[in-house]
Amino acid sequence: MQFMNRRLLHVGIIALILLIACLLPIAGECAQPVRYTVVVDPAHGGDDLGVVADKLREKDVTMSLALLVREEAQKTENLQVRLTRFADRTTTVGERIKAAGDSKPDCLISLHVNAGFGRQASGYEVYFPGFRQGGSKEAGSSPVLKDMAKNRSLNDSVRLAQQIQAGLETVFPRKGRGLREAPNPLLSGLSVPGLVVELGFATNSEDRKLLTAEAKQREAARALVKGLREYFRKAP
């Protein structure tokens, strides 16, 4: 009887070891960090110079910032950044939408440089898509589901805007001009959270110095990546 009990105990231990061995790969997979894909859109490019003031060209600033954001994101374990353009080439809104859609992103940020409102105007602005867009008038359940997905993306865009604003505030203290609501053709063509970030005024001499300083560009890139990480960390 004792021999049988010992034998059963040995069999039980072996079975338990085999079970744990089978579960370990699953646990390892679960422990892997979730990777999020972010599309960064460097506005303008090619024949489209964007805002031009003194020696600053918007298309150059946005491209430089986008590359720095991608570089900074590579230092994290859960973010990968895709760009809508990789060089100084003319890129239509349709091409940008396609490039973003092909990446199947979790969110999108379009980088711009502001201008106007007089030479005293300065600081950064963060725009999210408007909620006042008309819903679909088609019959059936499919348009309703599309509208629900769109509204969810809009709500997430507001959350993303708040985190990006918080990140930029550490680089440009008291320079925030608030969160603003405005439609954008690039964001309207995608059902993902998205923002337009205007990183200063080219028409303001102090902002212009900041926008063209490599060290400040890198700080801004790190702030954007920090905002993205916080947004995904606090995702519901």
Full residue range of the structural domain in which residue 23 is found: 1-32
* Cβ atoms of 56 and 113 closer than 8 Å: yes
Q: Virtual CA dihedral for 122, 126, 132, 134, nearest 10 degrees?
A: 120
Same domain, 26 and 78: no
Q: What order of strands is seen across the sheet that includes strand 176-181?
A: 79-83, 36-42, 107-114, 194-201, 124-128, 176-181
Q: Give the pLDDT of residue 144.
A: 36
Same domain, 12 and 38: no
* Token pair listed for 24: 């370990």
Same domain, 84 and 100: yes
* Cβ atoms of 196 and 50 closer than 8 Å: no
Same domain, 4 and 94: no
Same domain, 21 and 1: yes
Q: Give the pLDDT of residue 117.
A: 85
Same domain, 116 and 51: yes
The whole-number mean pLDDT for each consecutive block of 10 residues of the chain, a chain of 236 residues, reads: 52 53 49 84 98 96 98 95 96 96 96 92 92 46 46 89 96 93 89 95 96 96 97 87
Q: Give the pLDDT of residue 80.
A: 96
Same domain, 44 and 150: yes
Same domain, 20 and 100: no
DSSP tag of 114: E
Q: Give the pLDDT of residue 126.
A: 97
Q: What is the CATH number for 140?
A: 3.40.630.40
**pTM score:** 0.80
d(CA 22, CA 69): 40
| Domains held by the chain: number | 2
CB atoms closer than 10 angstroms to residue 89: 12
Same domain, 63 and 146: yes
